[in-house]
């Protein structure tokens, strides 16, 4: 039994019996005298429980007027495992480098951490023991992240000034935000674009300016969002139009077999231990980048245009290196 549960049972017993002996508490909780004294001291000094020793009656009771509110443990109450999970979550958020989320969560966890036993499992200790390494992460230092989050939840439109990395152009547009997506270490805003009259995904880090509009957002059904943005491979929008068939060497298969490239993927092994992965895609840009990570231990079996484009990329890379 952890300390949190002991606190709850001590308080409940005092409410039920009005007067409780030390032996009763020790027997019920199966704790030593030293543990009992530490728990009592913590309840009195840290949680301001009005528990006193009644020498005349030989037991402990609450010292408060009958008209006073019933004493209760303050605020949200977590057991030790739940607190450790919260601290681990904080370490993960901090490791992601998202200062906006980290600054919002840290004050809450600072209060929660005080409920832990003194065993060294502080936020600082958890941060030392749990590391998140994100080599592809692009740090989000965006003043409008909170505004965007509020608009998503409150269902309000936004006016964006946005830089499109693909074209190198900057544009302004009104959008109806649908959801925030954290994908491959970066944040994206899925929205209905009133300029383009369709569903688009915007990299939050490339939103140069954002303004909340006092206009209700256009609602887009989840199924429609998934068809436009989630059916094909990667972050690029568009419906799945083709199926890629990739075959990995037995050595590379040890890693790839546990990877999820797409929710609708299919994977099979042959007698030589090679792993064949099939997945739907539309825009091949991100898929090719991922295939290149596994060269030379992967081959594109089909479709032919995807194989040809991969070969062309490899030739371009060789030419670049040969030029030096």
Considering all CA atoms of the chain, what is the largest pairwise distance in Å, rounded to the nearest integer?
A: 95
Average pLDDT over residues 148-161: 94
* Residue 313 pLDDT greater than 90, yes or no: yes
Q: Are 282 and 241 in contact (CB under 8 A)?
A: yes
d(CA 308, CA 311): 5
Residue 270 class from Cβ within 10 Å (0-12 exposed, 13-18 middle, 19+ buried)?
exposed
Range from 58-62, 131-135, 204-208, 310-314 carrying the lowest mean pLDDT:
131-135
Question: Is the model's pLDDT at 123 over the cut of 90?
Answer: no
Find the range with the poorest average confidence among 1-10, 118-127, 133-142, 213-222: 118-127
Query: How many helices (H) does the chain have, and how many strands (E)?
Result: 11, 11
Q: Confidence band (pLDDT; 50, 70, 90) for 239?
A: confident
- Cα separation, 209 vs 143, in Å, equals 9
CATH for 3-62 (1.10.132, 1.20.1300, 3.30.70, 1.10.10): 1.10.10
As a whole number, mean pLDDT of residues 112-137 equals 61
* pTM (two decimals): 0.59
Q: What is the CATH number that goes with domain 242-322?
A: 3.30.70
Looking at the DSSP assignment, which residues form a beta bridge with residue 164? 169
Q: What is the strand order of the sheet 266-269 is part of?
A: 266-269, 275-281, 242-248, 298-302
**CATH architecture for residues 145-229:** Roll (2.30)
Predicted confidence band at 80 (pLDDT cuts at 50, 70, 90)? Answer: low
Question: Rounded to whole angstroms, how far apart are CA atoms 308 and 291?
Answer: 13
Of 33-42, 71-80, 151-160, 308-317, the least confident: 71-80
Give domain limits for the chain: 3-62, 80-129, 145-229, 242-322
- Average pLDDT, integer, range 35-42: 92
Kind and range of the H or E element at 61? strand 59-62
Lowest mean pLDDT among 1-10, 62-71, 115-124, 265-274: 115-124
Give yes or no for residue 116 having a pLDDT over 70: no
Q: Mean per-residue pLDDT for 45-69?
A: 88
Q: For residue 296, give the 3-state DSSP assignment.
A: coil
Report the distance separating Cα 101 and Cα 118, nearest Å.
27
Where is pLDDT greater, at 95 or 164?
164
């Amino acid at each position: 039994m952890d300390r949190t549960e002991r606190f709850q049972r001590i308080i409940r017993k005092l409410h039920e019996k009005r007067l409780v002996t030390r032996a009763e508490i020790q027997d019920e909780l199966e704790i030593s005298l030293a543990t009992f004294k530490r728990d009592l001291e913590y309840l009195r000094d840290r949680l301001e429980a009005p528990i006193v020793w009644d020498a005349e009656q030989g037991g402990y009771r609450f010292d408060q007027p009958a008209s006073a509110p019933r004493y209760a443990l303050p605020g949200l109450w977590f057991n030790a495992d739940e607190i450790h999970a919260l601290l681990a979550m904080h370490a993960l958020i901090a490791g992601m480098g998202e200062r906006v989320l980290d600054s919002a969560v840290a004050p809450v966890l600072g209060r929660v951490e005080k409920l832990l036993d003194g065993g060294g499992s502080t936020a600082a200790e958890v941060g030392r023991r749990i590391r998140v390494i994100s080599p592809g992460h692009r740090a989000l230092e965006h003043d409008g992240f909170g505004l965007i989050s509020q608009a998503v939840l409150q269902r309000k439109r936004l006016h964006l000034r946005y830089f499109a990395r693909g074209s190198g152009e900057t544009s302004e547009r009104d959008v109806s935000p649908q959801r925030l997506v954290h994908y491959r270490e970066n944040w994206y805003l899925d929205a209905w674009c009133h300029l383009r009259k369709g569903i688009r995904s915007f990299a939050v880090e490339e939103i140069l300016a954002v303004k909340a509009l006092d206009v209700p957002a256009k609602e887009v059904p989840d199924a429609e969002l998934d068809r436009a943005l989630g059916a094909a491979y990667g972050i690029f929008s568009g419906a799945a139009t083709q199926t890629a068939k990739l075959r990995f060497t037995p050595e590379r298969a040890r890693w790839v077999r546990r990877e999820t490239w797409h929710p609708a993927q299919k994977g099979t092994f042959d007698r030589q231990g090679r792993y064949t992965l099939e997945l739907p895609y539309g825009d091949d840009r991100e898929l090719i980048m991922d295939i290149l990570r596994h060269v030379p231990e992967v081959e594109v079996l089909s479709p032919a245009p995807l194989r040809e484009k991969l070969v062309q990329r490899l030739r371009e890379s060789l030419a670049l290196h040969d030029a030096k």
